[in-house]
C-alpha cells in the first residue's frame, strides 16, 4: 500500500480501470523556516475568500510552506496546489476545500469499465482529514467502493474501509437519504492525511448496469452533500461532480508545551492569545483568550482585540450599567445598590437598622426588646448566609461558569441550581431519597420543579486546590455529550462543597447486574458484549473529546450505570480530572479502586489514558467470569481477578474460570478473542495496551461477529463473497466494512490480487 513519493502529478485523463490511480496531490514539503509574521503588503483576500494569516498567498506571506496558497486570478479562487479552497476558520482550526468525486462507468456497447479514481496526499502538510465532518460516500446501484488510508503521524498504519450501495428499482430512491439505497456513507478515522479510492469492479459488472451505468465515490463533508436521485438516474456527476470536504489543520508537529520553548517559531504571538493542542493529530492551534477576538497569529494591533461586551451583547441587566474592561466587563449599579452576579441585577445594600432598633428597644418593654434582638439575630444570620453563599459561588468559579453558559448556544441544557432548588428537589435531603452512599459522599434522588427526575451528588468535602478549578472543570464536563455517559445537568456552587446534578439512571449498576443479581445466568452474552462496547466507546470519547484529555481514573463495574434496556452509562467523575500537569496536583487525585488500579501507575505515579484501559480490562473479565475484581476463593483466600485470569489463560484452563452462561452461548473462538483483548488491556506496560478507541472498535467487531457469524474472517473468504453476484434477498442492503491492518478481521483486498 505504501507508495513511493512521486513528484506532483495531475493526470486527469480517463483511465481504463487497470491503469494506476491519478493523484490529486502529492506533497513533498521541505520543512521551511517559519516566519513569525507576514511581510508587508501581503494580500488578505483572493476573490471572495478571506485568507487569514498563518495562511497566505505565496511562501513569504504565510507561516511556512504548508500554509502557502496560490490565487488563480482568472478563476478568482485560492488553491492549495491543485485543490480549490473554499474557506478557512481560525477559531476551530478548519479549512474547507473542494475535491472531485471518483467515478466508474460501464459502457454496455463495448462492455468496458472506465474509471477515474482519485487519491489525495497531504502528508507533510499542516492538513489532516476531519473525522468529525467528513464521510466516505458511495453513490450507485450495486456498487462497492473502498477508501484506503495510510501513513498517519503515528507511523505506518493502514486502514481500509468500504461502503456498499444497492438499489433494484428507481422508485426506491429518495432525495436527501443516504442510507444504503443508491447512496451509502461511512465514517473515517482520525489523524489521516492520505487516502485513495477504489471501486470493486466485478461487482459493478455483475450488477445492473442498465439501470445506472455510473457509480461515484468520494470523501466529502456529510452535512453539505445532499444525495439526489438524479445522481443515479443521469450521469450529471461525471466530469462535473465535486464536493466540499473539511480539513483540520495545526501548526507544526509539537504540543503547545514543546512549542512555547522555541520562542522564534512559536506561532501564538498575539499578547492575548492562548495555545490549544490539536484534537486531530499532532501540532497546536492558537486562539484568542476569552473576551478577545481577532487573529491570534498576529502581533498587536492586528492580533486579538478586546471584545466590547457592552456593545455586542449587553450582559448587564436589572438596572445595572455595563462598563467594558480589557477581556471582561463590569456591571455597575446606582449608589446604595450592589450588583448580584447570580441573579444579574442590582440589589439594595442591606443596611442593618441597628441604631433604630436599639432606640425603639430602649423605650419599650423587655419582651419587645427580646423580640427585637431575636429579629436582629435572624436578620444577621440571614445576611451571613447570603454572604457565605455568594462567597462560595465566587470561590468555586461561578462567575466564569455563568459567562460561559450564557455565551453558549442551547445553554438551557446546563443549569446552575440554587441551594433552595436542590433542597426542595430532595425533600430536604430526605433519607428515603438516598440512592447511594460512600466515601465520596451521598447521592440523592431528586425531583425538580418541572418534574424531571435527577440524581444529586453531595460530596463530603473538596480539596482547596480543586476548589478554584471547579468552575473551569464544570465548563468542560458540561460539554460532554455522549449517550453512554451520564449527563451532567447542572451544579450548585453556593454551598461549601459544590453539588452536582446528573440525569437519573434507573437500572442500578453493572456491579449489581453481575454480582448481586441472583439470576446472573439471565444476562446473555449479547448484552454483556454490548455493555462492554458502550462503556469502551464512552471512555474513548472522554479520552478524545477534550484537550487535555479527560481521564476517568476510576473505571469499575460499580461506576457503569445501566439505563433503560440496560444501556451502559459511564458515571462518577468524582475521580475524573483533567490530566494533571505535575505531581503535586496528582497526589490529591488518586482514587482508584483495589483490583482495578493500573500497576504501572504505582511505579510512575502518572495516571494516563492507558490506566483507564487497564481498569476496563478488569471490567471485561468481570463480564466474562461474573467474578469480582478481588474475590474470595474457597478458604477465604483473596485473589485478584486480573492475575488469576491471566494465569488461567497461560495454563489453558480458560473454561474453568468463565461464567456458565458465557461458556454456553459463545463459541470458543469468540471467547478466545475477548479474552485476548482483555489480556492486552491488562498488559503491565501501558504502551502495550491498546487505546480505548481500539478496544471499542474491536468490541464492536466482535459484537457484530456474534450477531452475524458469517462475516468472513479471512481475506480469501471476503474475496469470494464480493465476487459472487448477490442473491435476491440481499437487495436493499448496505454494508460497510472497516478494518485496521494487523487486526483479525483485516480486509486487505490487495493481498488477494
Ligand atoms: C516535526 O517537524 C520537523 C520540521 O517540520 C521535522 O524535522 C521533524 O522530523 C518532525 N518530527 C516528527 C516527530 O515528525
Ligand atoms: C487558473 O485557472 C484556469 C482555469 O482552470 C487555468 O487555465 C489557469 O492556468 C489557472 N491559472 C494559474 C495561474 O494557475
Ligand atoms: C465556510 O463555508 C461553509 C459552507 O459554505 C460555511 O458554513 C461556514 O460558515 C464558512 N466558514 C467561515 C469561517 O466562513
Ligand atoms: C477558540 O475560542 C472560541 C471562543 O472562545 C471557541 O469557540 C473555540 O472552540 C476555541 N477553539 C479551540 C481550538 O479551542
Ligand atoms: C461506449 O463505447 C463505444 C465503443 O467504444 C463508444 O463509441 C461510445 O462512445 C462509448 N460510450 C460512452 C458513453 O462512453
Ligand atoms: C455542472 O453542474 C452544475 C450544477 O450542478 C450545472 O449548472 C452545470 O451546467 C454543470 N456543468 C456541466 C459541464 O455539466
Ligand atoms: C474479478 O473477475 C476476474 C475475471 O472474471 C477474476 O479473475 C477476478 O478474480 C475477480 N475478482 C474478484 C475480486 O472476484
Indicate if ligand 2 lies below 6 Å from the C-beta of 660: no
User: How is residue 330 annotated by DSSP?
Assistant: E
Closest CA to 223 of 90, 96, 77, 104: 96
Residue nearest to atom 4 of ligand 5 (CA): 110
Q: How far, in whole angstroms, is CA 474 from its chain's centroid? A: 17
Counting from 1 in the atom list of ligand 1, the atom nearest the Cα of 153 is 14
CB 641 within 8 A of CB 618: yes
Indicate if ligand 4 lies below 6 Å from the C-beta of 273: no
Q: How far apart are CA 540 and CA 536, in angstroms?
A: 6
Indicate if ligand 2 lies below 6 Å from the C-beta of 75: yes
pLDDT at 722: 35
Pick from 106, 109, 238 the residue to mutate for probing ligand 5's pocket: most ligand atoms within 8 Å of its CB.
109
* Helix (H), strand (E) at residue 540: helix 525-545
Residue nearest to atom 11 of ligand 2 (CA): 72
Centre of ligand 3 to C-alpha 87, Å, is 6
pLDDT at 131: 92
**Residue reference for cell 502529492:** 26
Q: How far apart are CA 286 and CA 295, in angstroms?
A: 9
Residue 358's φ and ψ, nearest 5 degrees, are: -65, -40
Which contacts of 633-642 are long-range, i.e. CB under 8 A and separated by 24 or more positions?
640/595, 641/595, 642/595, 642/617, 642/618, 642/682
Centre of ligand 2 to C-alpha 72, Å, is 6
Indicate if ligand 1 lies below 6 Å from the C-beta of 253: yes
Closest CA to 538 of 577, 501, 483, 489: 483
State the sign of the Cα–Cα–Cα–Cα dihedral 538, 540, 541, 545. positive
**Residue reference for cell 461549601:** 496
- β pairing state of 119-121 and 214-221: unpaired
Query: Which residues carry out catalysis?
Result: 554
CB 272 within 8 A of CB 289: yes
pLDDT at 174: 83
pLDDT at 584: 41
pLDDT at 136: 95
E strands present in 342-439: 345-348, 415-416, 434-438
Indicate if ligand 1 lies below 6 Å from the C-beta of 467: no
Centre of ligand 4 to C-alpha 678, Å, is 37
Q: How far apart are CA 98 and CA 244, in angstroms?
A: 4
Assigned C-alpha cell, 750: 490487495
Q: How far apart are CA 11 and CA 20, in angstroms?
A: 10
Averaged pLDDT in 10-residue chunks for the chain of 753 residues: 30 33 45 58 91 91 91 93 92 93 84 85 90 93 86 66 84 83 90 88 62 84 89 78 94 90 86 92 92 91 90 83 86 84 78 51 58 70 75 73 67 77 88 78 86 85 63 74 88 83 88 77 82 94 80 87 90 53 42 77 81 93 88 71 88 85 81 91 91 93 72 36 33 32 28 31
CB 425 within 8 A of CB 446: yes
pLDDT at 30: 43
Assigned C-alpha cell, 714: 479471512
Pick from 45, 87, 134, 245 the residue to mutate for probing ligand 3's pocket: most ligand atoms within 8 Å of its CB.
87
pLDDT at 712: 38
Q: How far apart are CA 507 and CA 384, in angstroms?
A: 42
Centre of ligand 3 to C-alpha 241, Å, is 20
Residue 500: strand pairing partners: 457, 491
Identify the three-state secondary structure at position 606. Answer: coil
Q: How far apart are CA 682 and CA 203, in angstroms?
A: 43
* Other beta carbons less than 10 A from residue 518's beta carbon: 6
Q: Which residues contact 19 (CB under 8 A, 6 or more apart)?
A: none
Q: Considering every ligand atom, which ligand is closest to the CA of 126? A: 1
- β pairing state of 415-416 and 488-492: parallel
Identify the three-state secondary structure at position 564. Answer: helix
Q: Which residues contact 443 (CB under 8 A, 6 or more apart)?
A: 434, 435, 436, 437, 455, 456, 457, 458
Q: How far apart are CA 197 and CA 243, in angstroms?
A: 15
Indicate if ligand 7 lies below 6 Å from the C-beta of 285: no
Residue nearest to atom 7 of ligand 1 (CA): 31
* Other beta carbons less than 10 A from residue 553's beta carbon: 24
Q: Considering every ligand atom, which ligand is closest to the CA of 247? A: 3
**Residue reference for cell 432606640:** 359
Residue nearest to atom 11 of ligand 1 (CA): 253
Q: Which residues contact 426 (CB under 8 A, 6 or more apart)?
A: 433, 444, 445, 446, 456
Indicate if ligand 4 lies below 6 Å from the C-beta of 283: no
Q: Quickly list H helices, 185-296.
A: 201-206, 230-233, 256-261
Domains observed in the chain: 13-27+94-249 (no CATH), 30-80 (no CATH), 256-306 (no CATH), 405-503 (3.30.200.20), 510-709 (1.10.510.10)
Residue nearest to atom 9 of ligand 4 (CA): 92
Pick from 28, 29, 31, 193 the residue to mutate for probing ligand 1's pocket: most ligand atoms within 8 Å of its CB.
31
CB 397 within 8 A of CB 404: no
Residue nearest to atom 12 of ligand 2 (CA): 72
Assigned C-alpha cell, 547: 484537550
Assigned C-alpha cell, 386: 447570603
What's the first-to-final CA gap in the chain, in angstroms? 13
Which contacts of 429-437 are long-range, i.e. CB under 8 A and separated by 24 or more positions?
429/458
Closest CA to 294 of 333, 251, 341, 327: 327
pLDDT at 737: 36
CB 328 within 8 A of CB 334: no
Is 458 marked as binding a ligand? yes
Q: Which residues contact 106 (CB under 8 A, 6 or more apart)?
A: 112, 113, 204, 205, 209, 213, 214
Q: What Rg do the C-alpha atoms of the chain give, in angstroms? A: 31
pLDDT at 469: 64
Centre of ligand 4 to C-alpha 136, Å, is 27
Q: Which residues of 75-96 are buried (b: 16+ CB within 10 A; e: fewer)?
A: eebbbbbebbbbebebeebbbb
Centre of ligand 4 to C-alpha 276, Å, is 9
Counting from 1 in the atom list of ligand 7, the atom nearest the Cα of 201 is 1
Residue 564's φ and ψ, nearest 5 degrees, are: -55, 145
Indicate if ligand 4 lies below 6 Å from the C-beta of 91: yes
Q: How far apart are CA 126 and CA 115, in angstroms?
A: 30
Q: Considering every ligand atom, which ligand is closest to the CA of 282? A: 1
Counting from 1 in the atom list of ligand 1, the atom nearest the Cα of 282 is 14
Centre of ligand 3 to C-alpha 54, Å, is 18
Amino acid at each position: 500500500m505504501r507508495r513511493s513519493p512521486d513528484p506532483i502529478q495531475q493526470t486527469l485523463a480517463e483511465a481504463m480501470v487497470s491503469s494506476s490511480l491519478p493523484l490529486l496531490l502529492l506533497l513533498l514539503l521541505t520543512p521551511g523556516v517559519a516566519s513569525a509574521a507576514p511581510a508587508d503588503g501581503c494580500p488578505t483576500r483572493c476573490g471572495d475568500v478571506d485568507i487569514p494569516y498563518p495562511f497566505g498567498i505565496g511562501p513569504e506571506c504565510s507561516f511556512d510552506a504548508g500554509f502557502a496558497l496560490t490565487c488563480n486570478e482568472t478563476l478568482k479562487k485560492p488553491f492549495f496546489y491543485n485543490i480549490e479552497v473554499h474557506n478557512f476558520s481560525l477559531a476551530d482550526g478548519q479549512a474547507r476545500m473542494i475535491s472531485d468525486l471518483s467515478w466508474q462507468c460501464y459502457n454496455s456497447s463495448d462492455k468496458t469499465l472506465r474509471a477515474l479514481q482519485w487519491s489525495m496526499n497531504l502528508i507533510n502538510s499542516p492538513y489532516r482529514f476531519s473525522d468529525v465532518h467528513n464521510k466516505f460516500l458511495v453513490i450507485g446501484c450495486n456498487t462497492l467502493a473502498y477508501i484506503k488510508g495510510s501513513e498517519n503521524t503515528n507511523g505506518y498504519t493502514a486502514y481500509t474501509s468500504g461502503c456498499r450501495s444497492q438499489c433494484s428499482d428507481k422508485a426506491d430512491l429518495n432525495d436527501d437519504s443516504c442510507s444504503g439505497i443508491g447512496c451509502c456513507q461511512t465514517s473515517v478515522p482520525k489523524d489521516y492525511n492520505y487516502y485513495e479510492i477504489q471501486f470493486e469492479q466485478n461487482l459493478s459488472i455483475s450488477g445492473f448496469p442498465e439501470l445506472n451505468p455510473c457509480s461515484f465515490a468520494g470523501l466529502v463533508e456529510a452535512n453539505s452533500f445532499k444525495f439526489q436521485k438524479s445522481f443515479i438516474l443521469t450521469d450529471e456527476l461525471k466530469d462535473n461532480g465535486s464536493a466540499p470536504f473539511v480539513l483540520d489543520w495545526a501548526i507544526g508537529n509539537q504540543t503547545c508545551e514543546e512549542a512555547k520553548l522555541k520562542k522564534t517559531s512559536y506561532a501564538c504571538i498575539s499578547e492575548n492569545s492562548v495555545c490549544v493542542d490539536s484534537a486531530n493529530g499532532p501540532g497546536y492551534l492558537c486562539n484568542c483568550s476569552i473576551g478577545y477576538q481577532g487573529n491570534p497569529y498576529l502581533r498587536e494591533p492586528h492580533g486579538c482585540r478586546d471584545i466590547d461586551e457592552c456593545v455586542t451583547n449587553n450582559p448587564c441587566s436589572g438596572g445595572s450599567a455595563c462598563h467594558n474592561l480589557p477581556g471582561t466587563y463590569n456591571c455597575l449599579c446606582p449608589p446604595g445598590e450592589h450588583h448580584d452576579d447570580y441573579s444579574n441585577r442590582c440589589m439594595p445594600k442591606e443596611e442593618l437598622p441597628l441604631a433604630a432598633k436599639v432606640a425603639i428597644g430602649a423605650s419599650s418593654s423587655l419582651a419587645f426588646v427580646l423580640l427585637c434582638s431575636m429579629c436582629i439575630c435572624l436578620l444577621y444570620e440571614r445576611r451571613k448566609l447570603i454572604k457565605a453563599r455568594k462567597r462560595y459561588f465566587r470561590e468555586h468559579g461561578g462567575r466564569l461558569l455563568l459567562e460561559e453558559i450564557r455565551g453558549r448556544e442551547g445553554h438551557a441544557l446546563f443549569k446552575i441550581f440554587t441551594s433552595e432548588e436542590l433542597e426542595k428537589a430532595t425533600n430536604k435531603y430526605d433519607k428515603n431519597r438516598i440512592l447511594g452512599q460512600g466515601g465520596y459522599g451521598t447521592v440523592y434522588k431528586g425531583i425538580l420543579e418541572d418534574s424531571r427526575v435527577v440524581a444529586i451528588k453531595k460530596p463530603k468535602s473538596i480539596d482547596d486546590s480543586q476548589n478554584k478549578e471547579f468552575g473551569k472543570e464544570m465548563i468542560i464536563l458540561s460539554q460532554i455529550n455522549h449517550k453512554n455517559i451520564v449527563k451532567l445537568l447542572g451544579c450548585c456552587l453556593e454551598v461549601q462543597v459544590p453539588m452536582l446534578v446528573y440525569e437519573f439512571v434507573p437500572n442500578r449498576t453493572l456491579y449489581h447486574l453481575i454480582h448481586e443479581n441472583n439470576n446472573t445466568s439471565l444476562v446473555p452474552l449479547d448484552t454483556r458484549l454490548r455493555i462492554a462496547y458502550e462503556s469502551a466507546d464512552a471512555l474513548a470519547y472522554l479520552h478524545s473529546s477534550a484537550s487535555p484529555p479527560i481521564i476517568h481514573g476510576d473505571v469499575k463495574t460499580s461506576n457503569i450505570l445501566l439505563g433503560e434496556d440496560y444501556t451502559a452509562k459511564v458515571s462518577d467523575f468524582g475521580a475524573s480530572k483533567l490530566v494533571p500537569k505535575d505531581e503535586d496536583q496528582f497526589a490529591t487525585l488518586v482514587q482508584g479502586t483495589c483490583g482495578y488500579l493500573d500497576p504501572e501507575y504505582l511505579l510512575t505515579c502518572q495516571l494516563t489514558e492507558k490506566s483507564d484501559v487497564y481498569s476496563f480490562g478488569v471490567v471485561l473479565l468481570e463480564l466474562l467470569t461474573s467474578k469480582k475484581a478481588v474475590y474470595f476463593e474457597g478458604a477465604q483466600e483473596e485473589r485478584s481477578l486480573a492475575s488469576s485470569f491471566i494465569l488461567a489463560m497461560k495454563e489453558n484452563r480458560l473454561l474453568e474460570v468463565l461464567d456458565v452462561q458465557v461458556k454456553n452461548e459463545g463459541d470458543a473462538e469468540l471467547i478466545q478473542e475477548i479474552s485476548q483483548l482483555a489480556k492486552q488491556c491488562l498488559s503491565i506496560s501501558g504502551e502495550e495496551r491498546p487505546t480505548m478507541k481500539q478496544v471499542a472498535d474491536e468490541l464492536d467487531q466482535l459484537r457484530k461477529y456474534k450477531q452475524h457469524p458469517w462475516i468472513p474472517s479471512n481475506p480469501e473468504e471476503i474475496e469470494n463473497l464480493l465476487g459472487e453476484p448477490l442473491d435476491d434477498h440481499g437487495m436493499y442492503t448496505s454494508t460497510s466494512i472497516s478494518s485496521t491492518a494487523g487486526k483479525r478481521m483485516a480486509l486487505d483486498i490487495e493481498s488477494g490480487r
